[in-house]
């Protein structure tokens, strides 16, 4: 894609346009009180695959689903008393909660990177609120910068980094907080998964107890990159040209196989199918063989996840 992104304002007409673009599976950057996010319809696997491609992320980290209020959040996750207390105290605002996915959550597997949990956040920025209400569904949004670059706090930053790879940016001036949201895991004892725009002390004051800290992060130089990765129960064998007896084969490109990531060899389609297909094959209880996937573009992120899935585990 080489078209320049549309620069939209915060008028109702412009936000309705932005919401239509999202509904069409396009990528729209928008301001939140923390940083500008790059939004895609979280129910549309192809749109989420395009989001990873635009950012040039070398791996699939799970994304935050943005929603306009607690009632909308509760349609997608299993709600708890602790979530209710933190939401009442801090939403809308720079706090992200990680909760178990609910039944009929409708979220694309690529958003959670195959995990059984979903990160959810209700942003306080009035323009983010208005866009989410106009769209009427969950919006997956990482920071709107190319992978490895600093997070954008103005529409100018977004256009400089991603201007030729996204449909539009909603420009509503600089972000107030300038630091990503604080992430708290609530699928076990409340845990500080990423420090951010809301002080941990404020959260601990509401909980009346200290937050747990995660045992291990992926690398000390990449805060926020968490070690939680979906891993199939079955063993995974990579670069398989055919299944050995007993194996199920996950294919890529035209070939005979049990499930195909993309019969036409389309990497975006393969990314959108990756976690769903791994889950389906894992449910057979048989070892999984995976055909080679080209290591270019989104293929790098796909191969990153396949290598993690195939790695020996403790
Ligand atoms: O302030 C923010 O949170 C911004 C704005 C745009 O809302 N968004 C943002 O997204 O910082 P991103 O993709 O850069 O960071 C998402 C973080 C990652 O560190 C990811 O590992 C974590 O959220 N995360 C997402 N889902 C998770 C899950 N199910 N379990 C654990 N961590 C999760
Ligand atoms: Mg980021």
pLDDT tens, 29-49? 999 999 999 999 999 999 999
Please identify every residue whose CB atom is under 5 Å from ligand 2, which is an ion. Answer: 143
- Banded model confidence at residue 226, pLDDT cuts 50, 70, 90: very low
Q: What is the pLDDT of residues 59-77, one digit of tens each?
A: 888 999 999 999 999 999 9
Structural contact between residues 10 and 34, judged by C-beta atoms closer than 8 angstroms:
no
What CA–CA distance (Å, rounded) separates 55 from 162?
8
pLDDT value at residue 2 = 54
Which ligand has the nearest atom to the CA of 93?
A: 1
Cross-strand partners of 41: 139
What CA–CA distance (Å, rounded) separates 166 from 27?
5
pLDDT value at residue 225 = 44
What CA–CA distance (Å, rounded) separates 173 from 176?
9
Torsion sign, CA atoms 277, 282, 284, 288: positive
* Main-chain dihedrals φ then ψ at residue 191, nearest 5 degrees: -130, 135
Ligand 1 closest atom vs CA 121: 7
Closest among 74, 98, 90 to 177, alpha carbons compared: 90
**pTM of the predicted model as reported, rounded to 2 decimal places:** 0.89
From 58, 61, 231, mutation site for ligand 1 pocket: most ligand atoms within 8 A of C-beta: 61
pLDDT > 90: percent of the chain: 73
- DSSP-assigned states of every residue in 276-311: HHHHHHHTTTS-EEE----SSTHHHHHHHHHHHHHS
Max distance between CA atoms of the chain, in angstroms, equals: 61
Q: Which domains does the chain have, with CATH numbers?
A: 6-207 (3.90.870.10), 236-310 (no CATH)
Which residues, at least 6 apart from 10, have a Cβ–Cβ distance to it below 8 Å?
126, 127, 130, 170, 171, 172
| 201-222 CB burial, b ≥16 within 10 A, e <16 | eebeeeeeeebeeeeebeeeee
DSSP 214: -
Ligand 1 closest atom vs CA 119: 26
Give ipTM to 2 decimals.
Answer: 0.98
Q: What is the pLDDT of residues 156-207, one digit of tens each?
A: 999 999 999 999 999 999 998 888 899 999 999 999 998 888 989 999 999 9
């Amino acid at each position: 894609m080489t078209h320049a992104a549309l620069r939209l304002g915060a008028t109702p007409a412009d936000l309705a346009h932005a919401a239509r673009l999202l509904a069409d599976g396009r990528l729209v950057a928008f301001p939140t009180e923390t940083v500008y996010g790059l939004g895609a319809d979280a129910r549309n696997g192809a749109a989420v695959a395009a989001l990873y491609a635009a950012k040039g992320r070398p791996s699939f980290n799970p994304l935050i689903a943005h929603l306009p209020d607690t009632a909308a959040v509760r349609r997608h996750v299993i709600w708890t008393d602790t979530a209710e207390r933190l939401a009442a105290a801090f939403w809308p605002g720079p706090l992200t909660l990680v909760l178990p996915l609910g039944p009929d959550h409708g979220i694309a597997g690529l958003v959670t990177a195959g995990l059984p949990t979903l990160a959810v956040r209700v942003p306080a920025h009035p323009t983010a609120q208005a866009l989410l209400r106009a769209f009427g569904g969950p919006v997956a949004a990482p920071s709107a910068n190319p992978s490895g670059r600093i997070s954008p706090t103005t529409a100018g930053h977004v256009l400089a980094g991603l201007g030729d790879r996204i449909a539009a940016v909603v420009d509503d001036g600089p972000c107030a907080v300038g630091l990503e949201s604080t992430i708290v895991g609530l699928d076990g004892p409340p845990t500080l998964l990423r420090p951010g725009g809301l002080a941990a002390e404020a959260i601990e004051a509401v909980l009346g107890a200290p937050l747990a800290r995660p045992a291990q992060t992926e690398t000390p130089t990449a805060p926020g990159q968490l070690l939680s990765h979906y891993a199939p129960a079955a063993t995974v064998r990579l670069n398989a040209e055919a299944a050995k007896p007993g194996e199920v084969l996950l294919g890529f490109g035209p070939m005979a196989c049990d499930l195909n990531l993309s019969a036409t060899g389309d990497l975006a389609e393969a990314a959108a199918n990756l976690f769903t297909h791994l889950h389906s094959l894992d449910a057979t209880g048989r070892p999984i063989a995976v055909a080679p996937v080209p290591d270019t573009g989104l293929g790098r992120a796909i191969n990153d996840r396949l290598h993690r899935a195939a790695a020996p585990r403790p």
